[in-house]
Every structure is written in structure tokens, then in C-alpha cells.
Amino acid sequence: MTELERFDQIWNEHFHRSKFWGGKYYSNKGQKNKDDFENILFSIWKHHNDWDDENGFQIKCNFDNPKYKTIYRVRKLAEEAGLLIKVGNYSVGNHTNYYKKNLILFDTVFRNQENLYGQWLENSKTNIELDLIYKLLIEDFNNLNKDNNYNLYNMPNVDTNLERKEKRKTKELNYDLKKLYALSEKFLPYYFKLLKRLNRAAIHTDLYFRSFLYFDKKGLPNGRPYSYICSTLNPKKKHRDNSGELRPDFLKRIGIPDYYEVYDIKCEIPRINWLFHTGEWKDDSFDFYKEILIDSELFEQRFINDIYISRGETKRSNYNDSMKQLFMRIYFGKGSDLQSYNGYMQERENRYKKYDDLIKNGKMETDDLIDIMYKNKENIDLNIWQKLCNSTRAICGNPIGNLIFWFSFFIETEVKIELLKRGKKVYNVYDGFYFNQDIKSEIQEILEIKSKQVYNKYMKTIYKDI
């Protein structure tokens, strides 16, 4: 049975077997016809496209909301039909998994001569009811924003709510969690007000922030505020086989076609981590990723010896083996250096198996083929990995985990608020700032001031000398 035949048997026959009252699909929750399922599938396809192509993307189904139950059913059927490929469990809660798209099958079925997906993309621009995931995001934001006295979070009680195992983990944190709890009573409401101020000033709802910061069930900081623009694709950085709305097209659609990325904070995570430990905001001339490689004596030496680790360029096929990506694995890794190394090597083995197949079938482009050919697959052993881990801690300081995203949001927000006061409506995709004229030097000056303020107000208070 071919892949297309399997799809037809599972996806189309699902509706054929469930015909009631004029061909509509019926369940205990009501009628769902084939068009309804495909609307939701297309919504998934549109919005879940900004994740690493190897590790996949997340689809979260919160069963407290009946609409998410429908997404779960569509997701399950799409997986059985071969449209979505499950690559791992992200978490037990909320039925969240990692998936990859079967782009070839999807394009064959829905981007053919009839082009149902293309038609849906056009129709969904004017009819929000077709785009369920977008509608849910807007609803979530409206619920978040409906009350000025909204209870931002339930303050965790580290002494009674956390089990002994979790208490032990909190002692290993590189910051004082109890002081963070106390301090957050002041800064969470403050930054929530700034978030709402930025939303009021935004020219389009797709520029609204739809999430905020919170403490998770373990009592640890979590969350990274985002808006729809964060899910659009930067054609200068994304891999060629990614699908989704390109950022220039998005900016044109919402009426600001002259906006472009005027500045991005280089090495934002290590730069803010260094700020947390030292109070120093290093300027752009200091490249943290390059300095880690130099410190570990592994700086790029193409074609000269067996050890080659590049700084990191997103369009290259060896991007996942670059220092930029290795840093993220090391910084956010759980457990020991050995555990993070084993996780990296498993992912790498799966990836190179895919590369070997592409090379054998002649489907690897020239630049990518060069990357793979000179890259020694065995060159990153445990000894080298530990060198990288030690150099990362030496150059950037001990990691503070997801708390780093709170501080990055604080600094980015302070910069945009200051620019708004000056009459400039600047939007950002995390560390990248978008405007219609060159204000790079202005942003850099503001960053220098605001980063020090964030350090003095919040970072220094919770710093714990290990």
C-alpha cells in the first residue's frame, strides 16, 4: 500500500464510515464534517511551523476546553493518516507531543491543482472562524487581559507545596527562589501593565502579546510572552523546506510593508546570563559563541583538522552541530554533562541517518553536501563536550534556566516602551526589533541603560553566589 493509498483509506474513509444526515460526521459532541476537520488541520499547518525541523513542533491540547478536544481528534487522525509524524512526547500533561510535518504527502493532497490549502489561507484572512488555533489564541489573550485586577499567578509556597525532591532541586538553582517569589509580587503586575500598554499601541491584533509569565506546578519560573509575528518565518534565517507565512508577507498584510529588522541582540541568552552574574552589559563586539569555542580550543578551522565546530548559521545543514545550537543544549540541558551529551548524540545519529539517505538519493544541495562531507561525524566525543560545557560556564556564568526568558522580556519591553515614548512603534520577534528606519544606535544606547536598571532592580536582588 502506498503512502497516498494509506492516507485515503484512513483520512477519507473515516468520514465515509461516519455518514449521517447528508454526509456529515457525527459524534456525541455534535456534527463534524470533513471540511471542519480539514479547517482545523490547515490551522495546525499554518501556526505550527516555527520549530526546529529535526525535533519537531508542539501541539498542545488542553482538555479543559472542548475546542481543544476537537484539535486532539484531528491531530490523532492526521497522525494515523501519515500527515503528522510523532517524534516524541513533550510532556504527560495536556497531551502535548512533538510532531514533524509530512510535507510531501500534505502538498500532494492539499496543494495540488485544486489547492485547498491555498484557498483556505486566503479565506481565513477575512474569516477568523475558519482558523481555530488563531481564534483560541485570541480568546486566551482576551481572558488574560479582560480584568485590570487579573490574578497573574497563584504564588507557590515552597515550604508546603513542593515535595522533598523538588525542594532539593530548588537548592541547586543558581538564584534565590524565595527572593524571586517576593520580588515577583512587584514586577509581574508592573510588566503586565507594560504589556497591555504595548498592545494598546499596536496597529494590528496579530501584534498583540498573547501570553505572559507564570510559575509552573513545581514553583519554578516559566513562560515567554509572544505574539503572532513570532510564528512568521524570516526568509533570511529559516531552512528552505519550512512552510508558513513569511515575515515580509505578514508585515505587508498588516499594513507596515516598510518595516524590517533594524537590530537584533547578538547572543541574547548568554549576554543576559552574563549580565545576571556580573552586572555588565557587553556590547555587540563580544561574540559569546565564538569566545566559548576559543576558550575550549575548538574554534572553526575548516578543512584543516578533524575538529570543526562552526559558530552557527541557520541556513546551513550543519546548524544543529554549531556552537549556537550546542550552547542551547548545554544551557537548558537537564542533569549532568554526560546526560546532555547522550541526548545530543542520539538526536545527531537520527539526523545524519536522514542526511545519508538524502545524499544517496542525490537530493542534497551543493552547499549542504559540502557541510556534510567535511564534517567528521565522530569529532564531538564526551571529552570535547565537557570542554564545551566548562567553557560555556566560564564565559557566560552558571545557567539560570527558564528565568532567563523573564529577564529577556523585561529588557526587550523596557526598550520598546522607551521608544514608544519617543513616538516610535517598534515591534519585536524576541531579540529582533522591527521598524521602518535605521535606529540601531538608538536601540543600543537604550539597551545599555535599561539592562543596568533590570540588573539593579531584579537580578542583583536574587543573585546567589555558588
Phi and psi at residue 220, to the nearest 5°: -105, 150
Residue 78 within any structural domain of the chain: yes
pLDDT of 159:
46
Give the DSSP per-residue string, 220-243: -EE----BGGGGSB-TTTS-TT--
pLDDT in tens, 5-23: 889 888 877 776 544 444 4
Helices (H) and strands (E) in the chain, counts: 19, 11
Please state, in angstroms and rounded to a whole number, the distance separating the CA atoms of residues 355 and 256.
Answer: 39
- The DSSP H or E segment spanning 463 is none
Secondary structure (3-state) at 41: helix
Please state, in angstroms and rounded to a whole number, the distance separating the CA atoms of residues 268 and 396.
Answer: 11
Q: HSE-up of 228 (CA within 13 Å, CB side)?
A: 24
Pairing label, strands 96-101, 214-215:
unpaired
Which whole number is the average pLDDT over 35-57? 70
Please state, in angstroms and rounded to a whole number, the distance separating the CA atoms of residues 230 and 42.
Answer: 19
Pairing label, strands 260-264, 221-222:
unpaired
Residue 339, Cα to own-chain centre: how many angstroms?
Answer: 23
Say which amino acid occupies 257: P
Q: How far is CA 438 from CA 198, 256, 445, in A?
A: 21, 15, 14
Residue 74 within any structural domain of the chain: yes
Residue 260 in contact with residue 426, Cβ under 8 Å? no
Residue 130 within any structural domain of the chain: yes
Residue 309 within any structural domain of the chain: no
Please state, in angstroms and rounded to a whole number, the distance separating the CA atoms of residues 459 and 448.
Answer: 15
Count the domains in the chain.
1
Q: How far is CA 237 from CA 247, 296, 437, in A?
A: 11, 27, 21
Q: Which residue has the cell 526587550?
A: 412
Q: How far is CA 91 from CA 43, 58, 94, 437, in A?
A: 22, 10, 8, 43
**pLDDT band (50, 70, 90) for residue 216:** confident
> What length does the chain have?
466
Checking if the pLDDT of 396 tops 50, the result is yes
pTM (whole model) above 0.75:
no
Please state, in angstroms and rounded to a whole number, the distance separating the CA atoms of residues 58 and 54.
Answer: 12
Residue 330 in contact with residue 273, Cβ under 8 Å? no
Secondary structure (3-state) at 315: coil
pLDDT in tens, 218-249: 889 988 888 889 888 888 765 444 556 889 99
Residue 92 within any structural domain of the chain: yes
pLDDT of 142:
56
> And the C-alpha cell for 361?
538519493
Residue 73 within any structural domain of the chain: yes
Q: Range with the lowest mean pLDDT among 7-16, 106-115, 337-346, 405-414? A: 7-16
Residue 183 in contact with residue 459, Cβ under 8 Å? no
pLDDT in tens, 405-442: 999 999 999 999 999 999 999 999 999 999 999 999 99
Q: What is the four-CA torsion angle of 29, 38, 205, 190, rounded to 10 degrees?
A: 60
Please state, in angstroms and rounded to a whole number, the distance separating the CA atoms of residues 430 and 427.
Answer: 9
Q: Look up the domain containing 60 and give its range.
A: 3-136
Cβ neighbourhood burial of 305 (10 Å; 0-12, 13-18, 19+): exposed
- Sequence-distant (6+) residues with CB within 8 A of 284 are 266, 444
Residue 66 within any structural domain of the chain: yes
Residue 268 within any structural domain of the chain: no
**pLDDT band (50, 70, 90) for residue 313:** low
Q: Which residue has the higher pLDDT, 358 or 209?
A: 209
**pLDDT band (50, 70, 90) for residue 364:** low
Average pLDDT of the residues of the chain: 78
- Percent of the chain residues past pLDDT 90, beyond the cut: 31
